[in-house]
Amino acid sequence: MEQLITHTIDLKNGNINDKRREIRDYFEKTWAVDELLYTQLKSHEIFYHRGDPLRHVLLFYLGHTAVFYINKFFLAKIIDNRINPAFESIFAIGVDEMSWDDLDERHYNWPKVSEVREYRNKAKAVILDVIDNAPLKLPVAWDDPFWIVMMGIEHERIHLETSSVLIRQLPLNEVVAGRFGFVCTEFGTAPANEMLAVPGGEMKLGKPADHHFYGWDNEYGSHTENVADFKTSKYLCSNAEFLEFINAGGYETQSYWTEEGWHWRNFKQAEMPLFWRKDGNEYRLRLVAEEIAMPWNWPVEVNYLEAKAYCNWRSAREGKTYRLPTEAEWYRLAEQCKITDVSERNSTPGNLNLEKFSSPCPVDKFPQGDFYDVVGNVWQWTETPITGFAGFKVHPMYDDFSTPTFDGKHNIIKGGSWISTGNEATLHSRYAFRRHFYQHAGFRIVESEQPLVIRNNEYETDSEVTLACETEWTNPGGQTQNFTQQLAAHLLEITNGKPGKVLDLNADTGRLAFELAPFAENITAIDFSARFIRMPVQMLEQGFMRYIVTDECELLHYREIVLNEKVKISGSEKIQFLQDNANNLKALYSGYNLIVLPQLLEELTSPVGFLQKIHERLLPGGLLVIASTYDWDRNHTERSERPGGFKRDGEPVSSYEGIKEILSAHFNEIVPPVNLTQIRPLSSRTSEYRICEVTVWKMKG
Ligand SMILES: [Fe+2]
């Protein structure tokens, strides 16, 4: 195996010709180690077996890693011709199970192993041709051909690990031991584990855009988090420690499990970790291609749900608060232990990168600072569901790598395992799996009094909300200022740049409030819909909002709106966003210098009644600004409640005239009405235009 040892490539520094050779070598070794993995299958027949009933047959993965390069090269226009369109379709997409009871019942006519091997040979020739001849410059940028080459290589390295997990799930008589590196033979009693203190601090997460390694899109962006002091276990949780949980009835006690965990346990009838076997009174452990007597001093391998149940059992037993680390706590631990990244170290500090063993090893073998196995041996589950950092952008050549996992259901694993290589072995890598999923993964526990805060950065998909986001936060139709920006400018003009205390009665996605905030004394912005108000609240708390818009039927655009790129953050502390009902305005909404009704009047059940009383909410000399299309809804607003848009005594009464008549008791109109155009993009090629009349009324006296 030693001749196959590699590290991911520095894509920034070096000489062009050397770099081309380096990448060629990295590709060839990746290809070779991938093929070596499958030599553990007893016969060709086994390629048609599934390691996991919820995943494809193993043959899929043999074809998939090759097809991936060709599909991405073709998509990126690096090559003009496909090799085998049929193969490039059937080997294109893996199965991402949604739940533990999902079954992939589609029927596939898998080709012969020899045909797949033949395809792999052709693909390899094409890939080498690209590596030898595609333009190469340093640093390699996101959209360069060599970024796509690296994408193919790192993708193959991910599958090296995930396929090894599938082979580990095949019946023992279908695999052959001894063909893939050396299994550790150090067995013994597990060391007594202890909790050691880690001082808290501010952690800055996220890979810089100009980092010298290839990265998946989810690694970039930035995130700052304050980590409180915590304690964590010196060693990963060992098989011996986990046995105590089993012996204490852990798998039979619902109170230790999360609701999701208990459902999974019951569905699977799980009584012990997936790779444990019970033989009489003895436990054994299944490795990738062999079974051994239980190595009690090795780390236990479980899914998140089991790890969490263990923490809850320990908490109940000891009266303390145990849980798994968050992503930021893991980085804090790594920093404390002075773990350096691949390019900054002379030797690999643990059981990582296939450099030590082809299996886990004792938890007390590789010290790193005061702890062991902060990186390497087996992955470590965290409490943190994966989401993009602020500034996250989807890589257009692999747009479904990350975003389907940003659903709150995929937790991050850190540290890497004995078979984690390439990008997986770098500090910035961010891999996440469903909580019931098995990898070569275990855990270390954390003791902390700090309440666990799970960030919720999911993408909004409600089409009404996302349309409002597009309308308010982009510049549809090429308008240099969209409707909301024009309205804000108008409001600042009529108030001489000092709007004072402001009430926005239709907050929508918050743009108007953010535009006015730097100039206002304070702003209260309310919206009838909790679905809408959620967006500006998130914007206020986290500085960005995310949503998905659909286009041309199935195509999706992932949008991220970052506050300080659109509007200066200054003043946002003056904004309060509330969900409330303008039809029945509470008494507390009083004492304003400016009340704005952006497209609200036409939504009210009683516009007339509203206009008759709105002066009560304003300070003397205060302004009322109405922006309306006067699109009264006949079903929603009674004729008698509409200020205009009808005939009275046979003569037309426009809405504007009607409003003027009602407001004349308490207001004067101070500037002529203006028309502002709102473009609402229904798709990238279809928009709805609305022309709002904006009128400005000043309280008398
Ligand atoms: Fe894949």
| CATH classification of the domain holding 52 | 1.20.120.450
3-state secondary structure of 680: strand
* Ligand 1 midpoint to CA 401 (Å): 9
Residue 184 in any domain: the answer is no
pLDDT confidence tier of residue 229, bands split at 50, 70 and 90 = very high
Please state, rounded to an integer, the average pLDDT across all residues of the chain: 93
The number of residues in the chain equals: 701
Asked whether residue 632 falls in the same domain as residue 667, the answer is: yes
* Ligand 1 midpoint to CA 68 (Å): 7
Asked whether residue 206 falls in the same domain as residue 260, the answer is: yes
Asked whether residue 317 falls in the same domain as residue 357, the answer is: yes
pLDDT confidence tier of residue 280, bands split at 50, 70 and 90 = very high
* Ligand 1 midpoint to CA 466 (Å): 30
The pLDDT, as a whole number, for residue 95 is 62
pLDDT greater than 80 at residue 97: no
Helix, strand and coil content of the chain, in percent to the nearest 5, comes to 35, 20, 45
Q: Work out how many domains the chain is built from and give that number.
A: 3
Report the CATH number at residue 419: 3.90.1580.10
168-172, 344-348, 659-663: the lowest-pLDDT one:
344-348
Nearest-angstrom CA–CA distance, 585 and 663? 18
Enter the tokens of residue 692. Answer: 């709002």
* Ligand 1 midpoint to CA 94 (Å): 6
* Ligand 1 midpoint to CA 520 (Å): 51
Beta bridge partners of 697: 624, 669
* Ligand 1 midpoint to CA 26 (Å): 19
Segment 593-605 mean pLDDT: 95
Residue 431 to residues 323, 339, 641: CA-CA distances in angstroms?
20, 19, 57
Segment 410-423 mean pLDDT: 97
Per residue in 659-678, pLDDT (tens digit) is: 999 999 999 999 999 999 99
Per residue in 231-245, pLDDT (tens digit) is: 999 999 999 999 999
Report the CATH number at residue 578: 3.40.50.150
* Ligand 1 midpoint to CA 248 (Å): 40
Among residues 343, 307, 286, which one has the least CA distance to residue 233?
307
Q: What is the DSSP string of 248-297?
A: TTGGG-GGGS-HHHHHHHHHHT--S-TTEEEETTEEEEE-SS-EEE--TT
Asked whether residue 440 falls in the same domain as residue 486, the answer is: no
Asked whether residue 96 falls in the same domain as residue 46, the answer is: yes
Residue 319 to residues 315, 322, 331, 572: CA-CA distances in angstroms?
5, 9, 27, 42
* Ligand 1 midpoint to CA 228 (Å): 37
Residue 292 in any domain: the answer is yes
Asked whether residue 406 falls in the same domain as residue 272, the answer is: yes
* Ligand 1 midpoint to CA 402 (Å): 12
pLDDT greater than 70 at residue 105: no
pLDDT greater than 70 at residue 457: no
3-state secondary structure of 172: helix
Asked whether residue 360 falls in the same domain as residue 423, the answer is: yes
Residue 453 in any domain: the answer is no
Alpha carbon 352 to chain centroid, angstroms: 26
Asked whether residue 602 falls in the same domain as residue 516, the answer is: yes
The pLDDT, as a whole number, for residue 98 is 57
Alpha carbon 236 to chain centroid, angstroms: 26
The pLDDT, as a whole number, for residue 54 is 77
The pLDDT, as a whole number, for residue 76 is 95
* Ligand 1 midpoint to CA 156 (Å): 8
pLDDT greater than 60 at residue 351: yes
Report the alpha-carbon angle 86-87-92, nearest 5.
110
Residue 578 in any domain: the answer is yes
Angular region, 345: left φ>0, alpha ψ -120 to 50, beta rest: beta
The pLDDT, as a whole number, for residue 554 is 78
Please check whether residue 594 is in contact with residue 623, taking contact to mean a CB–CB distance below 8 angstroms. Answer: yes
Query: Of all residues in the chain, what percent carry a pLDDT higher than 90?
Result: 78
Nearest-angstrom CA–CA distance, 129 and 125? 6
User: Residue with structure tokens 């992503």?
Assistant: 327
The pLDDT, as a whole number, for residue 344 is 84
3-state secondary structure of 507: coil
* Ligand 1 midpoint to CA 437 (Å): 16
Segment 336-343 mean pLDDT: 92
Residue 188 in any domain: the answer is no
* Ligand 1 midpoint to CA 535 (Å): 33
* Ligand 1 midpoint to CA 565 (Å): 34
351-360, 409-418, 508-517, 552-561: the lowest-pLDDT one:
552-561
Residue 222 in any domain: the answer is yes
Asked whether residue 15 falls in the same domain as residue 130, the answer is: yes
44-58, 258-272, 448-462, 521-535: the lowest-pLDDT one:
448-462
Bond preceding residue 139 cis, omega within 30 of 0: yes
Asked whether residue 160 falls in the same domain as residue 236, the answer is: no
pLDDT confidence tier of residue 103, bands split at 50, 70 and 90 = low
pLDDT greater than 70 at residue 99: no
Report helix angle 58-75 to 113-133, nearest 10. 30
Residue range of the domain that includes 155: 2-174
* Ligand 1 midpoint to CA 441 (Å): 19
Per residue in 524-541, pLDDT (tens digit) is: 999 988 888 888 988 888
Global pTM reads 0.81
Residue 676 in any domain: the answer is yes
* Ligand 1 midpoint to CA 152 (Å): 9
* Ligand 1 midpoint to CA 279 (Å): 36
pLDDT greater than 90 at residue 515: yes
The pLDDT, as a whole number, for residue 190 is 97
* Ligand 1 midpoint to CA 366 (Å): 31
Residue 21 to residues 4, 18, 27, 28, 150: CA-CA distances in angstroms?
15, 5, 10, 10, 13
Asked whether residue 333 falls in the same domain as residue 389, the answer is: yes
The pLDDT, as a whole number, for residue 624 is 98
Maximum CA extent, the chain: 99
Residue 323 in any domain: the answer is yes
Asked whether residue 569 falls in the same domain as residue 597, the answer is: yes
